[in-house]
Amino acid sequence: MKLDIYSLNGKKTGETVDLPADIFEAPVNVDLMHQAYVRQMANKRAGTHSTKGRSEVRGGGRKPWRQKGTGRARQGSTRAAQWVGGGKVHTPKPRDYSKAMPKKMRKAALRSALTVKAAEKEIIIIDGLKIKEAKTKIVAKALEKLVGQETALILLPEKGEAEEMFARSARNLVSAKTIMANYLNIRDLLGYDKVIVPLNAIEVISGYLGK
C-alpha cells in the first residue's frame, strides 16, 4: 500500500511511502480485535470494590423482638439484608479482572486494526514532528490542517528532543494523544479517528509487528 507523505503544514511533500503489507494489509479479524479490546479494558480495572455482608456489619447482635406473639414478621437481627444499615447480599468483593491473551494474538489484533485504518484512509504519514517551539497552538494548527476537526493519535518513534517538545505541546489538546510507537495498543488505535505516523515510526512498528 502506497501513501502520500505530508508535512506538518498539511501539504504533500511529493513523496510516497510503501507500508509493509504484512502489517497494513493483514487479514482482518473483528472477533480478535474485540477480544484484545475487552482484555485491555479488563486489565485496567483495579478490582478494589468492596461491600460488607451481614457478618461484617457492626451491631445487630440482639434479636429485635420476640419470635412469636407480636404479629410482626420474625426477625433475628437488625443487620439482615432487608434492614436499613444491614449487610448486602451478592455484592462486589475485591477480585482480579485481568485476562490473559497470547502475544501472537495481541499482535494479530493490532495488525487487523492497522489494516482497517489503512483501508479507510485513516492513517496519515508525515515527514517528522519537528516544531519551532513548544506551544500548544502550533500543534493545534498543524493537526487542524492534517485531520480537520477529527481526533488524532500521534505516534512518537523515539524519545528525542523534537518528539518530547511535540508531546509536551500536544498534552493539553483534548482531541489528540501522543504515545510511543512501541506502546501502540488496540484501545488507542480504535479510539481515535486518525492515526498520525511519522516516517521513522514505521520502522518501529515493523520491528515488533512484522512477521
CATH number, domain with residue 13 = 3.40.1370.10
| Assigned C-alpha cell, 60 | 445487630
Q: What pLDDT, on a 0 to 100 scale, did the predictor assign at position 210?
A: 84
Give the chain's mean pLDDT.
93
Q: Do both 21 and 57 map to the same domain?
A: no
Number of domains present in the structure of the chain: 2
pLDDT at 211: 73
> DSSP labels for 29-87?
-HHHHHHHHHHHHHHH---------TTTSS---S-SS-SSSSSSPP-S-TTSTTSTTPP
Alpha carbons 154 and 142: distance in angstroms, whole number: 12
Between the CA of residue 207 and those of 141, 191, 211, what are the distances in Å? Answer: 31, 23, 9
The answer on 26 and 123 residing in a single domain is: yes
Whether residues 105 and 78 fall in one domain: no
Average pLDDT in the 169-191 region?
A: 94
- CB neighbours (10 Å) of residue 17? 14
8 with 68, same domain: the answer is no
What per-residue confidence (pLDDT) applies to 17? Answer: 93
- Residue 30 to residue 76: CA distance in whole angstroms: 54
H/E element, 176: strand 176-180
Do 105 and 87 lie in a common domain? no
Read off the pLDDT of residues 3-60 as tens digits, 9 standing for 90 and up.
999 999 889 998 999 999 999 999 999 999 999 999 999 999 999 999 999 999 998 8
CB atoms within 10 A of CB 39: 20
- The answer on 64 and 40 residing in a single domain is no
Residues of the domain holding 83: 51-91
| pLDDT of 181 strictly over 90 | yes
pLDDT per residue as tens digits for the range 112-157: 999 999 999 999 999 989 998 999 999 999 999 999 999 999 999 9
Residue percentage of the chain with pLDDT more than 70: 100
Task: Kindly report whether the global pTM for this prediction surpasses the value 0.85.
Answer: no
Q: Which residues neighbour 29 within 8 Å (Cβ) at sequence distance 6 or greater?
A: 108, 109, 112
Quick check: 1 pLDDT over 90? no
At 38 the pLDDT is 97
For residue range 191-203, what is the model confidence (pLDDT) as tens digits? 999 999 999 999 9
